[in-house]
Amino acid sequence: MEDTVEYSCGVLTLSDKGARGEREDTSGVLLKEMLAGQGFRVVAYEIIPDRQALIESTLTAWVDEKKIDLIVTTGGTGVSPSDRTPEATRRVVDLEIPGIGEAMRSASLVKTGNAIWSRGIAGIRNQSLIINLPGSKKAAKENIEVILPALHHGIYKLKGGTADCGVV
């Protein structure tokens, strides 16, 4: 059932330097590869500056116009003055899914105490799941690995899937 459905996904990188072409986007590229490797169809990829209004409008357009099933952001989840990704995400989602952020932070804390500074959230807008990941390639990889096993099932349920959660 849920394993046979191919979901669309988009990767949105938030980086002032990346948007100006001054920094290579290693985390966004890695996330595209990892998601494609798990059966997601990458239909959107963009690097934009850390500007809350721009993040909000991009997320809204990807959900409302492009109907993307899964959107992962990378960058802007720390405490630097320009880090506004969680705030932008919170403004566009209808429902937060705190367990996703909690799981990522919990797993990251095993590797580094600096994980306490990560503020990424996850939430639902319409029938799309939006997840904030850290901006570094290493942290983005470690965080997506924690949640990847549950993504297909969660999106399946979000889209109205009726199979019981415990059915194998």
Q: How high does pLDDT run on average in the chain?
A: 94
Query: Mean of the pLDDT values across residues 40-57?
Result: 97
Exposure string over 127-146, b if 16+ CB within 10 A, otherwise e: ebbbbbbbbebebbbbbbee
The three-class DSSP label of residue 96 is strand
Domain of 143 in residue numbering reads as 2-158
Residue 167 lies in a domain: no
Query: Mean of the pLDDT values across residues 101-129?
Result: 95
Count of structural domains within the chain: 1
Residue 65 lies in a domain: yes
CATH number for the domain that contains residue 125? 3.40.980.10
Overall pTM surpassing 0.85 (yes/no): yes
